[in-house]
Structure 1
Amino acid sequence: MKKLGALGPLLWTALTANLLALSIQYVSLKPYGISLLYWVNAHKDLYALSAGILFCILLGFGALVNNYYFAIIVFTALIGALDFGQYHKLRILGEPIYPWDLNQLKNMKEMLQIVRNMVSPGLLIAAALLVVIALAATFRIPRKRLKLPLRAAFLTIAVLVVFACTHLQNSAFAKPLEKLGAADYHWNQQQNYLENGFMLAFLDNLGAKMQNQPADYSEAAMAQIVQKYGQTTNASATASGTQEQPNIVYVMDESLFDPTRLTGITFSEDPMANFHEYQNTYATGYSLSPTFGGGTSNVEFEALTGLNMSFMNEGAVPYQQILAKKNSFPSLVSMLKSRGYETTAVHPFDKTFYNRNRVYPVLGFDQFISQDDIKYKDKLSPNGYISDMSAVKQVVDVLNSGDQPHFVHLVTMQNHLPIAEGMNGPNTIQVSGLSGSGQTEMESYAQSVKETDKAVQYLVDSIQQLKRPTIVVVFGDHLPALQDQTYADHLSAATPEQKQQFLHETPLLIAANYPLQDKNLGTIAPSFFGPLVFELTGQQLPPYYQLLDNVRKQLPGIGPNLYVDANNVASLSLNDEQKQLLHDYELVQYDLLYGRGYAASLLK
């Protein structure tokens, strides 16, 4: 070691950077069955770039702490944790780790609760032993301290490299990287990570916008849209409307899916008996979720703002990337608040998840009841989450308080991952058509859904006792991340359109304590819940909702790479008229999120 002198730390840093680059790329490719050697051979320049990026970051970190061996140990541990998260997120949700996912590290305790079945005690013990051995070795190895000018130079190099890689949409930085094979794949994050490599894709996302500016965005273009929709005749009042301002309740139920839709699988009893019975009494259909297996806040974003994730770059998380940085943002919540509503959010989990404690006030909520504040804390097992029944009881209490109309938005937790036997009580439903772990998983999930079905019945029965007109919208945020084979058997003969539609449709129920005209809702995106509820309650639609309503009547289901028309026909493409309609929608969305607010008058 002494013979290497000052070169020792640099050589160890270079070796470590290469090994870490290989490790993170290996776990990024393994879920797809792609060979690491094949990828490196096909992307030699990009692999060298990934290793170079890690080398420069390590160089800067080592200069910062002035101990390269300590820096190597710490950085190896961090990349190891990133490897673990990348592999399991890809395997379960089919999407990579994004920079904004790191915001959830502040919820480490809750995150460990969610992934507890993925981490074995042996893995934890092995990791702890490695850390102890590595740290002991670090302080036994002689180290060469760098002089201040050299440390400053290494830090500067690291900062410049990271800055360049986070500004690839700037042509000055993009052109040199294009020669190495890098390309802009923000519209497809899977391809972004597979083609550019984890390190470049991850850093590039740090500087990327959620939505690109449309080429024709201008004050004149927005003025035309304002004129077009600002003068639209309001046709919201219907025979099912109410004279008194009604209570409005959203129940976004975690991972709620109707498992009886799966062919070849039978259940000893219907886990959604009440839900199915309500098809004869209330309005039912399907919500077209923009996500699968996760990404709850994006569904919530659509339902509360009327904006749509299909216009955004893949992997975008508006709550964390933009709303948490604003002081206010127009939403269904703020509209109702301006009309005299008390607005309450209920989420029986950590309030900082997805920055909800910061985002909810931005959207206009007066009150946020989290797991710290909720009155009812019952769980279906000691290892489970606060039950759906406890959550809806809290909602009923809110509805019974005060004299003003209420808007209550509930996001449940009961059915969240992991789906494990006994998580929500003993399995009482037997499943046929699956075997092994797939059967146990489905029986456990069916038990969870059965308990949710009871909670929905309690809520629907409870609103019948209220004097004020009340309407409840119940929908699943996304399908559960069940074993691939469970879905594959059902979708074996499906077309691409049918497959996409099925994997993004969750149950939708609109119940009220007064008659509703429309019983068959078809498939509808959460973005359009606001204008739909306004119509069903006879409330005046602002021009923005009139725009959304025009879109809904032609394309009620809009999701990433999928469109469902008014006849419930799914398609992967649009005709010219539909393209123009959606382009108006896209321009308004960009104007609200990133633009100059030219269309603000549409919101009034």
Structure 2
Amino acid sequence: MKFNSNTRQLVLEVLSVLLLVACHFIIQWKLSPYHFTLRDGSIRWIPIAISVTPSLLFYGFARLILPNILSMALVISADVVLAIINLQKLGRINEVLGWTDLTNLSENISVVLEFVQPIHFVIIGAAMLALLAAYWLNRKVHNTPAYFCYKLLLIGLLTPVVFNTHLVYADVLSRHNSIATYLRSAGVNYIRSQWHKNLRVQGLAMHLVQTSARVTLSAPSADELRIAEQTDSYKLDSVHRSKKIIIILCEACWADKNHFSKEFQPLIDLGFKSARGISPSYGGGTANASFEWQTGLPANNVLTGVIYQEYSGVMREKLNSIAQSLHSEGFRTVAAHNYKRKFWHRHEMMPKLGYDEFIGIEDMQMFDYKPNRYGWIDDGVMYANIRDHIDSEGPAFLYLTTMYTHAPFRQMNDLGQADFANRVSTTVNRIAEFVKYVKDRHDATIVVYGDHKPMMTDFYLSEGIFSPDMFLKIGKNNAGYLFKETVDRPAIGDVPVYIYDKDEARVNNFISEADGLPFFCQSALLNKHFIGTQVLSHQFALKNSLCSPSASFKLSDLEKSYPAWLYSVSLF
């Protein structure tokens, strides 16, 4: 049987779409923790069908410009690459890929490249070959100068539509209309505060669409504003406040009594006392750890993703934070980080958090400090560049973020622990040198905390720090692991916190109350014992006894105790 050209084109179109759909579901099956069935074993027909629509939408746009085979190859290649990137992020830092990770790729690429392995180049190369093969198969279709000009014009007209339709699409899926109501009843609803669960029930493509529309918090009601006013009237007790208050976020700094404790001994020798804290992040996500310490609000509650990256553009100019409150009381407030100013949008967030000055690597004199093999500069350069701020007259609050111990960690016939030990020893010694300089000259309160565990999942499993039942999947390397949705977050978030103040009794009181609590509580308790300034989240926590030490507290319940209106009033 012979077919005319139109029939052949229709058959080819149908086959391209069917192959695209089949590949989409194979990718979700093999490369994504997607739930095809409910707990009773029944198939989730409607969510499964909806999950492929972003890929079909992408294909439809591509078909307006490209031939069908090339369009199909382009969409399948994008599906594969995104799925692998998501698996890498899940395996390394237990975080789900979000839309802004893609739109901020130019800023994040320097860190991302440190984790690229040869297999990733093979996969990308295969995708490129597939696209070239598809182009070769279609090279004779409409191959005329006039048609080429037509395609260029079409690309120019459609580009604004393509790059804005996802927002309309996400908006339709989330609005309170008949379509959204029906889809929610069928299981197609954006689980905004639980990205891991959202990925499993919506699929990666739909998850990316949903996270592209920034969901802002509702304005507080009149009753909630009254509660906020009552909370703001709660006054912290007056305390002796050191002239220099310093918080040092130590990148990926971790130890327990059986591992790396000798690397942190220089801090103990200087009079620091140690406690344990619970980070909101694992292996990465420094910005969220910093958010909790600076604002006293849980990162894993009503906000989503990397908070600095997701919300810097919509947060108000003056946030409710420790730095902002101290600034209003006459403190000189300075933040510094020996890495790029724009990374995680710190250049936008630090002024909003109340800092008079934010010093990035671009602003620092290098002296004789050198970067390591991964390009992370020795933390000594930061301390050398902020001494003038320490020695200036008047009170000062400094928030310093180190970089030298950032992953990855070279495996030298081990699981990366030797490289980590060497680098963390250098980092701690730099902190100790800086602390000694400060102690010799100033009355100071100093906190040093690890923002999250270093990215060494293999090591934790081999040492019994993690157990196999914490994982859905145990990989062949750090990127191959998948934590269970119900993983014990206090276990993966456990990190050391060190504090120094000349008043040892106050230090002991702080540790007795703060030991083992999440960062947002430790922030409130630091304020209670050493700072005594008005921060709304701290006042709320202390007024309602949310951060009283309890061996039986459940982290997720504690996080949910902080209502949405508190975020709205504090941040937006």
Q: What is the aligned partner in structure 2 of residue 236 from structure 1?
A: 238
Q: 2:279–2:452: 8 Å Cα contact kept in structure 1?
A: yes
Amino acid paired to 1:57? F
The structure 2 residue matched to 1:481, chosen from 452, 455, 459, is: 455
**1:374-413 residue pairs with structure 2 within 5 A?**
374-376=364-366, 378-379=369-370, 381-400=372-391, 402-413=392-403
> Which residue of structure 2 aligns with residue 57 of structure 1?
58
- What letter is aligned with 1:189? W
- What's the CA shift string for 1:15-67, capped at 9, x where partnerless? 4642552354145436x8x899x99993343333233331123212432x465
Offset, 1:544: 5.4
Aligned to 1:258: 255
CA-based RMSD of the aligned residues comes to: 4.2
Partner SS, residue 471 of structure 1: strand
The count of aligned residue pairs is: 541
Say whether residues 1:524 and 2:517 are aligned partners: yes
Measured in 2, the distance between the counterparts of 1:45 and 1:143 equals 41
Cross-structure match for 1:511: 500
Question: Which of 490-499 and 288-297 deviates more?
Answer: 490-499
Give the aligned partner of residue 287 of structure 2.
Answer: 297
Counterpart CA distance in 1 for 2:129 and 2:468 is: 50
SS of equivalent to 2:173: coil
State the secondary structure of the residue aligned to 2:276. Answer: strand
The one-letter amino acid paired with 2:567 is Q
List gaps (5 residues or longer) in structure 2: 471-483
Q: 1:246 aligns to what?
A: 243
Relative to structure 1, the CA distance from residue 584 to residue 205 in structure 2 (aligned partners, 3 Å threshold; closer, same or farther) is closer
Within the candidate set 222, 226, 248, 1:223 is matched to 226
Q: Does 1:320 find its partner at 2:309?
A: yes
- What does residue 116 of structure 1 align with? 116
Q: Say if 1:210 and 1:316, in contact at 8 Å, map to a contact too.
A: no
Contact preservation (8 Å) 1:516, 1:536: no
The answer on whether the counterparts of 1:303 and 1:526 sit within 8 Å (CA) in structure 2 is yes
User: Which deviations, in whole Å up to 9, do the C-alpha atoms of 1:88-134 show, x marking residues without a partner?
Assistant: 11222233211122233112540343323465655565555555555
Task: Give the Cα separation in 2 of the matches to 1:82 and 1:189.
Answer: 16
Partner amino acid, structure 2, of 1:592 = S
Q: Return closer, same or farther for 1:255/1:155 CA change in 2, 3 Å cut-off.
A: closer
Aligned residue identity for 2:396: H
1:584-599 to structure 2, matched below 5 A, reads: 586-594=564-572
Task: Work out whether residues 346 and 391 of structure 1, in 8 Å CA contact, stay in contact via their aligned partners in 2.
Answer: yes
Q: Which residue of 2 aligns with 1:93?
A: 93
Report the CA distance between 1:6 and its aligned residue: 5.3
Distance 1:538 1:382, change over 3 A: closer
Match of 1:342 in 2: 332
> Is residue 396–residue 462 contact of structure 1 (8 Å, CA) maintained in 2?
no
Q: What are the within-5 Å matches in structure 2 for residues 460-499 of structure 1?
A: 460-466=435-441, 468-484=442-458, 486-487=460-461, 489-492=464-467, 499=488
Describe the shift of the 1:493–1:84 C-alpha distance in structure 2 as closer, same or farther (beyond 3 A).
Answer: closer
- Pair 1:530–1:490, CA change in 2 (3 A): closer
State the percentage of identical aligned residues.
18
Give me the whole-angstrom Cα distance separating, in 1, the residues matched to 2:118 and 2:339: 20
Q: Note closer, same or farther for the CA distance 1:571–1:534 as it changes in structure 2 (3 Å cut).
A: closer
Match of 1:29 in 2: 32
Amino acid at match of 1:170: R
Is this contact kept in 2: 1:287–1:526, CA < 8 A? yes
Going from structure 1 to structure 2, the CA distance change for 1:141 and 1:501 (only over 3 Å counts) comes to same
The residue type paired with residue 324 of structure 2 is: S
Distance 2:103 2:546 in 1: 34
Report how far residue 474 of structure 1 moved.
0.8
Supply the distance in 1 between the matched residues of 2:84 and 2:245 (Cα, whole angstroms).
42
CA distance in 1, matches of 2:61, 2:191: 28
Which is further off, 283-292 or 541-550? 541-550
3-state SS of paired residue (1:417): coil
Verify the 8 A CA contact 1:210 1:318 in the aligned structure 2.
no
In 1, Cα distance between equivalents of 2:317 and 2:167: 31
Residue 417 of structure 1, CA deviation: 2.0
The counterpart of 1:274, out of the listed 266, 271, 279, is 266
2:478 is matched with none
1:356 maps to what in 2?
346
1:366: which partner in 2?
356
Deviation of 1:177 after TM superposition, in Å, equals 2.1
Give yes or no for contact 2:167–2:213 (8 Å, CA) kept in 1.
no
Question: Corresponding residue for 1:199?
Answer: 205
Aligned pair partner of 2:181 in 175, 182, 185 = 175
| Cα gap change, 1:312 to 1:336, in 2 (>3 Å) | same
- The separation in 1 between residues aligned to 2:562 and 2:44, in whole angstroms, is 40
Within 2, Cα distance between the matches of 1:187 and 1:326? 18
Equivalents in 1 of 2:556, 2:273: separation in Å? Answer: 29
Contact 2:292 2:523 in 1 (8 A): no
Letter in 2 for 1:163: V
Deviates more, 1:334-343 or 1:158-167: 158-167
| Counterpart residue identity of residue 396, structure 1 | R
Q: Is 1:528–1:549's contact at 8 Å kept on the other side of the alignment?
A: no
Query: In the TM superposition, what whole-angstrom CA distance separates every residue of 1:173-206 from its partner, at most 9, and x where no partner exists?
Result: 3233246542443343222211222222221222
Structure 2 letter corresponding to 1:175: T
1:185 aligns with 191
CA, structure 1 residues 226+457, in 2 after alignment: closer, same or farther (shift >3 Å)? same
Change (3 A) 1:41 1:494: closer
User: Are the aligned partners of 2:322 and 2:533 in contact in 1 as well (CA < 8 Å)?
Assistant: no
In the alignment, structure 1 residue 420 sits paired with structure 2 residue 410? yes
Paired with 1:413 and 1:465, the residues of 2 have a C-alpha distance of 25
State the alpha-carbon separation in 1 of the partners of residues 141 and 187 from structure 2.
40
C-alpha deviation, 1:463, in angstroms: 1.0
After TM superposition, give the deviation of residue 527 of structure 1 in Å: 2.4
Distance in 2, Cα, partners of 1:22 & 1:86: 16
Q: Which structure 1 residue ranges, 5 or more long, are not aligned?
A: 423-436, 557-564, 595-604
